[in-house]
Structure 1
Amino acid sequence: MTLRVLGIDPGLTRCGVGIVDVSATRVATLVSVGVIRTPPELALEERLLAVARGIAAAIDEFAPAAVALERVFAQHNLRTVMGTAQASGVALQVAASRGLSVGLHTPSEVKAAITGYGGADKRQVGTMVARVLRLNEIPRPADAADALALAICHAWRTGAVPTSGARVTSLTPAQRAWREAEKATRTVGS
């Protein structure tokens, strides 16, 4: 039995999309990897539509059992974080419309799962992704490697290996803590 996971590194200009199969023994195999690209001069709604269509096409073609998405975090560049958040929202909507569960993972969680160190740089993550997937070279651009890292991280951290079409719903301790903090914030702010 294997778990097929679609990893998404959200972005408006480049949205990484990586799909892996992970066995019950944690052996990961590359299924597909790519980047959905949109030109900056295109209207925002058209860019988001292109991202949605690209993600939907990957789901329809490869039928993942779960989706792993990078949790949006505050960055210094507001324009970048807004585009990332918008692309993330589109990814969440597409996954939900297909009945797929989504695991949200922070960059530190992904780096720690893949390299053993939450502060690893992009080169280290890419190198380990290539090693884990037994690839001759690091997937390029970095968005593609990051999407694969997300997918691998999700499969390894959930510990669940459902058959095709099953939903993955287990959360890591960090995800449970984050979800509880989000609930507390909504309760206080209500």
Structure 2
Amino acid sequence: MRARSLSVAAAAAVLVLVQPGLAVAADDPSTTVTYTVTSGALTLSVPASADLGSGAPGTQISGAIGPVTVTDNRALLSASWTVTAAETDFTSGASTIPATSATYAAGSVTTTGVITVTTTNVTLSNSAQVVVTGTAGVGDNTATWDPTVAVNVPAGAVGGLYTGTLTQSVA
């Protein structure tokens, strides 16, 4: 009886060692399984308006303009994007303060997903300038910051409500 037990155990051990996986017979039916991972868009959301407050001629008026968010739902392996900012001259109807009197500082950036973000503080102008860059993105990700815009009010500025348009875009 003991010899038979050893033979059965030895045969089972050989079967485990020789058989690498489940055997599939040539006539067994099979199903090919596929799926698609969808991708979305690269978008930018910005506040509709911002009030920096007030100050006298010869001072600096500054404030955070509200959250700016890049949402990258392109589901790429090595994604990158760039945010630019351009400012129109500030006008009161009676006077103008040039866009170059203002600066843009992104400050700290909060991210989700995988993305490396770099910020650049700039003196604004009528031409678009890079303010935030995202690189080495994997899959979907977001980046959010609350930039500060500061305006150096010229000493000879005329009193009044000045308005300018800050245009930010992502590509």
Larger Cα-atom Rg: 2
The structure in which a higher percent of residues are strand is 2
TM (norm. structure 1) is 0.26
The structure in which a higher percent of residues are helix is 1
TM (norm. structure 2) is 0.28
